[in-house]
Amino acid sequence: MSLKTSKLFLNKKILENENILFIQDLDGVCIPLVKDPMTRKLNKDYILAAKLFKNEFCVLTCGEHEGERGVNRIIERSLNSTIDPKKKGLYLQGLAACGVEFQDNKGNISFEGISEKELDFLSQVPLLIKPRFENIIKRLFPYMEQKTIDYHASISICKTKFSPTINFNSLFEIVGNNWEKRVIVQKELHNMMNEIINICEYENLSNSFFLHISPNLGKINEKEIIKYSTQNDIGTTDIQFLLKGAVKDSGVLVLLNNFIGKKTGTKPFGQNFNFRDSPKNLKDKVAFCKKYIQKKDMPLIIGIGDTITSQKNSEEKIYSRGGSDRSFLELIQALGKEYNNKNLIIFVDSSSGEVFRPSTKKTGLEGITDKEDYLKLDFIFQNGPKEYIKWFMEIANQRYLIKNKN
Ligand SMILES: [Mg+2]
């Protein structure tokens, strides 16, 4: 696949289309990747530009909106106010926690399809991780002081409401360039998360949760495959404990349901449709849309993400393809084909951040996609979030002017 670098066709398609919907990932797209998620930053002008799109823009992220680690706190810091975002509707509307946590631009949160028992167990997960994480550190780094262990625990264990997470980056810092040691860290923490998943079975919650591995190498038997570090690629940097059904492609259906509902007054999949009602595979999702959404109501969808992977297995000569943005971008592409409106798939190269990712400037599309990949990228922002944000602000302004001419 050749790299496409002209924004002209992109702008033309977006500006000439009456009915559009942006569905955009956050981290690595409009927020540069950082090792410590608590230091994430969001450009104020980007937030204001997103507002110009009104209902034509929504986010789809595996992070969360609310809580101390939530993107809402980043917005408040960026605007230097805890009142303005609510009053002026400047929170980023859309789905967080991989399709579970919905919010409008005033920060009103809703989440449906989750039981009290599941929420309860999720709140226990960080407490289950803590002693196991400490044991692993003591084994791998026997001379580490308790104070330092506590520090690593505090930044590695993310106590989020719907998606408690273990992040590997702070332990990767300790082992530096030693990729073999990074693999040991990945194996240990992956085993630990599997152990916690097994605990669910005793609580009669065996069908409730799964591990979301970022980035991953696709799935085998419904389980995501960890991507081990190599000399040139850091591989998996975090594992999230998620509700089953919480996948970004199901989130696309929830967002479409809301978008069309607002536009036409009727939600095509029903008033209370949530991520757990979604068909499971791509083919069924497309058929589901086809059944309930008429062509005239289907928008041109612009899908934007930064995490897709492709790795050639040299023995079997086949590719393992994964990445947390792959499923939702594939669905958007498939819907574009089905409805013949050629949805746009945009890739942002996030390798300029603090987290190591393959760079399209250095190694082309290696590690990201391949010739045989059915996911085709319509445009690549090679200069990362900075270039994307600049374009996003321009296109938001141009569209706003066209829409508000009279
Ligand atoms: Mg991302």
CA of 145 to the centre of ligand 1 (A): 34
C-alpha 290/C-alpha 293 separation (Å) is 6
CA of 389 to the centre of ligand 1 (A): 14
Q: How many residues can be counted in the chain?
A: 406
CA of 165 to the centre of ligand 1 (A): 15
CA of 305 to the centre of ligand 1 (A): 6
CA of 26 to the centre of ligand 1 (A): 6
- Say which amino acid occupies 89: G
CA of 225 to the centre of ligand 1 (A): 18
C-alpha 263/C-alpha 267 separation (Å) is 9
Taking the mean position of all CA atoms in its chain, how far away is CA 87?
Answer: 27
Cβ-defined contacts of 74-81 (< 8 Å, 24+) = 74/31, 74/40, 74/41, 74/42, 75/42, 75/47, 77/41, 78/41, 78/42, 78/43, 78/44, 78/47, 79/44, 79/47
Structure tokens at 105: 């631009």
CA of 255 to the centre of ligand 1 (A): 18
CB 164 within 8 A of CB 126: yes
C-alpha 185/C-alpha 179 separation (Å) is 10
CA of 45 to the centre of ligand 1 (A): 20
User: In CATH terms, is domain 8-63+246-403 a member of 3.30.70?
Assistant: no
C-alpha 127/C-alpha 139 separation (Å) is 19
CA of 27 to the centre of ligand 1 (A): 4
C-alpha 69/C-alpha 76 separation (Å) is 12
CA atoms within 13 A on the CB side of 294: 7
CA of 146 to the centre of ligand 1 (A): 33
- The reported pLDDT for the residue numbered 222 is 85
CA of 213 to the centre of ligand 1 (A): 13
Whose CA is closest to 23, among 272, 271, 345?
A: 345
CA of 107 to the centre of ligand 1 (A): 21
CA of 17 to the centre of ligand 1 (A): 26
CA of 306 to the centre of ligand 1 (A): 5
Rounded average pLDDT per 10-residue block, the chain, 406 residues: 73 96 97 88 97 97 93 97 97 96 96 94 96 96 96 94 94 94 97 95 90 90 92 91 94 98 97 95 97 98 96 80 93 98 96 87 91 94 96 98 88
- DSSP β-bridge partners for residue 213: 239
CA of 117 to the centre of ligand 1 (A): 30
- The reported pLDDT for the residue numbered 374 is 93
Structure tokens at 117: 């028992």
Strands 318-322 and 309-313: antiparallel
Strand ranges (DSSP E) for 5-46? 20-24
CA of 214 to the centre of ligand 1 (A): 9
Map out the domains of the chain as residue ranges.
Answer: 8-63+246-403, 116-161+164-243
CB 376 within 8 A of CB 32: no
CA of 265 to the centre of ligand 1 (A): 32
Protein residues within 5 Å, CB atom, of ion ligand 1: 25, 27-28, 306-307
